[in-house]
Structure 1
Amino acid sequence: MLARSHRLTRGSDYKAVVRRGRRCAGAHTVTYSMRAADSTAPRFGFIVSRQVGGAVVRNTVRRRLKAVCAEALPDVDEGRDIVIRALPSAANATFADLRDEVTRCLSRKIAS
């Protein structure tokens, strides 16, 4: 799991990353990334709306995305804020599909 120091917790931080960050779209997720002004550790945030499914499905997708990000944490540059938005198709995606997609976007260095 991601430690608190690696999570976005304020709505204003989410909004800033989504509005000003660079994006990488896939079949199941959209990943936004930007360099943070004050953070030294990379921080992640997740947006999983009701369009993805009911509460159980949304929480499953969120847990899978958190696990993927925890695996990728050593490879992410310091000072990055990353928001991952799950699309409705993420409800039917396997863990491997989500991992491949998010890893591809994180490795692209989408926020230079």
Structure 2
Amino acid sequence: MLHIVLHVLVPAIVALVFYRPRWHRVWLVLAAGLLLDIDHVLATPMFDPTRCRINFHPLHTYWAMGIYVLLLFSPLTRVWAVGFLLHMALDYAECWQLGIRWPQ
């Protein structure tokens, strides 16, 4: 439950700190990084609280993260990229909490 709250709260903090004049709109885009979890429907079981998502689900792979980093270079996709990378960082933090230090 805390993990889900962080996926909403951390983007709000980032939007408030770095995008103050239009933080509402930016927060919505950053929080939309949760859309990456659509790839969980491909897994069996769909949700496993003991499984590290990093490098398990297709949109959570290191290759996908490389694409998210490339999206940072375009002003048109930068906020989306930040949202996706925040999502990956929060999922990695959960792996760390599970005791998985470097997902395979």
Give me the TM-score of the superposition, normalised by structure 2. Answer: 0.36
Higher relative contact order (CA 8 A, sep 6+): 1
Counting helix residues as a fraction of each chain, which structure ranks higher? 2
Counting strand residues as a fraction of each chain, which structure ranks higher? 1
Give me the TM-score of the superposition, normalised by structure 1. Answer: 0.34
